[in-house]
Structure 1
Amino acid sequence: MSNALPAETTWTIAPEGVPGLDLDPFSDYFLTDPYLGHAAMRDAGPVVWLERYGIYAVARYKEVSEVLANHAIFVSSRGVGISDFAKNKPWRPPSLLLEADPPEHTEARAVVTRIMNPKLIRSLKESFQAHADTVVVEVAARGHIDGVKDLAERYPLEVFPDWVGLDKDGRENLLPYGSMVFNTFGPINRLYEEALEKGSKAAVWIMEQCAPGRPAPGGFGAQVHAEAAAVGYTEDEQARLLRSFLSAGVDTTVHGIGSALHALAANPGQFELLKADPTRARATFEETVRHAAPVQTFFRTANEDTQIGGISIPEGSKVLMFLAAANRDPREWENPDDFEIMRRANGHVGFGFGIHACLGQMLARLEGECVLNSLARLVDKIEMTGEAEIQLNNTLRGLERLPLRLTPATEEQKG
Structure 2
Amino acid sequence: MPEATATAVLPPTSHADPFAAEHLEHPEPLHHSLREAGPVVRLSRYDVYALARHQEVHAALVDWQSFQSGAGVGLANFRHEKPWRPPSLLLEADPPHHDAPRSVLREILAPPALRRLRETWQVAAENLVDALLATGSMEFDAFDALAKVFPLRVFPDAVGLGPDGRENLLPYGNMAFNAFGPRNDLVAADAHRVAKLSAWVNAQCAREKLTQDGFGARIWAAADRGDLTHEQAPLVVRSLLTAGVDTTVHGLAAALYAFATHPDQWQRLRERPELARVAFDEAVRWQSPVQTFFRTATTDVTVAGTVIPQDSKILMFLGAANRDPARWSDPDRFDLGRDPSGHVSFGMGLHQCVGQHVARLEAESLLTALARRVERIELADEPRRHLNNTLRSWASLPVRIRPAA
TM-score by length of 1: 0.93
Report the 3-state secondary structure (helix = DSSP H, G, I; strand = E; otherwise coil) of the residue aligned with 1:235.
coil
The amino acid of 1:315's aligned partner reads Q
Report the 3-state secondary structure (helix = DSSP H, G, I; strand = E; otherwise coil) of the residue aligned with 1:160.
helix
Contact in 2 for aligned 1:140/1:407 (Cα 8 Å): no
Alpha-carbon distance in 2 for matches of 1:274, 1:196? 43
Alpha-carbon distance in 2 for matches of 1:62, 1:97? 24
User: Once structures 1 and 2 are overlaid, which stretch shifts more, 114-123 or 102-111?
Assistant: 114-123
1:199 offset after TM fit, Å?
4.5
Contact in 2 for aligned 1:176/1:199 (Cα 8 Å): no
1:232 offset after TM fit, Å?
5.8
Alpha-carbon distance in 1 for matches of 2:133, 2:49? 46
**Partner residue in 2 for 1:7:** none
Structure 1 residue corresponding to 2:64, chosen from 33, 46, 71 = 71
**Partner residue in 1 for 2:115:** 122
Alpha-carbon RMSD: 1.2
Contact in 1 for aligned 2:12/2:37 (Cα 8 Å): yes
Alpha-carbon distance in 1 for matches of 2:368, 2:49? 41
Alpha-carbon distance in 1 for matches of 2:162, 2:116? 23
Structure 2 residue corresponding to 1:24, chosen from 12, 17, 22 = 17
Structure 1 residue corresponding to 2:92, chosen from 92, 99, 106 = 99
Contact in 1 for aligned 2:319/2:345 (Cα 8 Å): yes
**Partner residue in 2 for 1:89:** 82
**Partner residue in 2 for 1:394:** 389
* Paired residue total: 396
Structure 2 residue corresponding to 1:51, chosen from 44, 48, 51 = 44
Alpha-carbon distance in 2 for matches of 1:237, 1:364? 24
Structure 1 residue corresponding to 2:343, chosen from 337, 348, 361 = 348
Contact in 2 for aligned 1:140/1:379 (Cα 8 Å): no
Alpha-carbon distance in 2 for matches of 1:370, 1:178? 23
1:48 offset after TM fit, Å?
0.2
**Partner residue in 2 for 1:6:** none
1:99 offset after TM fit, Å?
0.6
**Partner residue in 1 for 2:143:** 148
Structure 1 residue corresponding to 2:163, chosen from 164, 168, 184 = 168
Q: Deviations over 1:343-381 (max 9, x none)?
A: 110111010000101111111111111111111111111
1:104 offset after TM fit, Å?
1.0
TM-score by length of 2: 0.96
Percent identity of equivalent pairs: 47
Alpha-carbon distance in 1 for matches of 2:213, 2:127? 24
User: Once structures 1 and 2 are overlaid, which stretch shifts more, 191-200 or 57-66?
Assistant: 191-200
Report the 3-state secondary structure (helix = DSSP H, G, I; strand = E; otherwise coil) of the residue aligned with 1:57.
strand
**Partner residue in 1 for 2:368:** 373
Q: Deviations over 1:251-299 (max 9, x none)?
A: 0000011111111111111111111111111111010011001100000
Contact in 1 for aligned 2:147/2:253 (Cα 8 Å): yes
Alpha-carbon distance in 1 for matches of 2:190, 2:373? 37
Alpha-carbon distance in 1 for matches of 2:396, 2:195? 24
Alpha-carbon distance in 2 for matches of 1:307, 1:131? 50
**Partner residue in 2 for 1:10:** none
Contact in 1 for aligned 2:42/2:50 (Cα 8 Å): yes
**Partner residue in 1 for 2:4:** none
The amino acid of 2:258's aligned partner reads A
Q: Deviations over 1:170-226 (max 9, x none)?
A: 000110111111000000001111134344322222111101222001111111111
**Partner residue in 2 for 1:255:** 250
Q: Does 1:133 align with 2:131?
A: no
Q: Does 1:203 align with 2:177?
A: no
Q: Does 1:296 align with 2:291?
A: yes
Structure 1 residue corresponding to 2:318, chosen from 298, 320, 323 = 323
Contact in 2 for aligned 1:50/1:57 (Cα 8 Å): yes
Alpha-carbon distance in 2 for matches of 1:16, 1:46? 11
Q: Deviations over 1:33-73 (max 9, x none)?
A: 00010010000000000111100000000000010000011
Q: Deviations over 1:136-165 (max 9, x none)?
A: 122234322111111100000000111111
1:398 offset after TM fit, Å?
2.1
1:16 offset after TM fit, Å?
6.5
Change in 2 beyond 3 A, CA 1:370/1:196: farther
**Partner residue in 2 for 1:189:** 184
Gap regions ≥5 residues in structure 2: 1-7
Q: Does 1:405 align with 2:397?
A: no
Alpha-carbon distance in 1 for matches of 2:304, 2:9? 14
Gap regions ≥5 residues in structure 1: 1-14, 411-415
Structure 1 residue corresponding to 2:355, chosen from 357, 360, 375 = 360
